[in-house]
Structure 1
Amino acid sequence: MTNTALITGASRGLGLALARSLAGAGWNLVLTARGAEDLEKVAAELGATAIPGDVAEAAHRERLAAAVPTLDLLVNNASGLGATPLPKIAGYPLEAFRVLLETNVIAPLSLIQATIPAVRAARGAIVNITSDAATGAYEGWGGYGATKAALEQLSNVLAAEEPDVAVWWADPGEMNTRMLADAVGAEEAAGAADPEDVARALHELIDRRPASGRVSLQ
């Protein structure tokens, strides 16, 4: 039987690289991202189902859940950076932080809640992409890091509550992505890891299916 995965933020970066890796192994893929044109190109390349939209919108999450009545793998990869240039906590715009919480915490939790019956039935897995900013005190990264810390604790408790589901909160490390370039500049981002290398490590993790927990991919 073919495995099915739902990947958010799948039009570029780690999401795209993982989609390509899983497609090469014969997975059935349902992909989402905000950029419809780029997502449709990826879906055509991989023979996947594209459902463009913003995971922060409840109606879009409902469409995604309806598209995966059976689900072996949910990858909550879509993420926002927040206010830029990266502000210090003392001056972080509160409305921008609310939006970031909606994208980085509420959206993945809501998608987990919507799909967990299908994941349970498949004895499947959930991957929540996190960051070392969730645990380290990096100047300017407080808003983003706080959302990832919340996602990590949600993952930790979910793993305890769902013993038949593998739950990994995976730290990909710094990658050469548009998000990192927006945060630190393109020149510095160019020296970071290739998302394809990180995707290979994540695919190996999915195949090995270790116990639930926090995982570093670099």
Structure 2
Amino acid sequence: MSYWIYIKLQDQTFHKFQEIYQQLHQGEESNLAKPLGDVLTEISCEVIDQVFSVITAQNFKGVGETEHTLEQITNNLKKYMPWSISLFSNERLLPMVTYIYKQMEEQEGDWFLTYPLDEALALDALNCVAQLDLGNTLFIRQTFDIFLKIIDEGVTCLIREPKKMLKFNLVVDKTLNGVINLTTQLGYKRIDKIADHFNVQTSQAYFHYFMGFLKKISKK
């Protein structure tokens, strides 16, 4: 048994990506970098919206700053993702696209973007949520810390690892690493501050929602 995070994709978004994946494997001659960059940006923004929209729906001090931070993150994605993808030919893009496609899975007609989760981390998350259900306020901060670790595993699997496959030149690679680090730290610091404004009830509501992305499966 293993633990995975499953985040639902919009049907239209998935089929756009699938079409590009198929075209690349069929040896499409016209360059697909632009539509690929656009659809990867759409996927990224959908993931962010699903994971974080429930947080911004809560009424707490600092919600406006949190919305602004998420807007900054999505703006960075919209600026740098299409640009970075545009630098490559179809042949160079194929391994990365294949890798991402393999992280997608269909269940009952819906398509999900998935990534594996360390078992110890998943069990820690489940334990923390159970403690929140018991009204244990001491676990609010710990649950947020684990949440950030789960998010960062997703960033590694779905952004850092695919980026390595593109083998950017030194200058571009350094630029993108800086953007990724800046963007993630911006988000993580904002979430860290949120923990101070969440009580047991709001924490329960959010983390029950987030744990809905977690699945225990026999194999993958």
TM-score computed with the length of structure 2 as normaliser = 0.24
TM-score computed with the length of structure 1 as normaliser = 0.24
> Higher relative contact order by CA 8 Å / sep ≥ 6: 1 or 2?
2
Task: Name whichever structure is richer in helix by fraction.
Answer: 2
Structure with larger Rg: 2
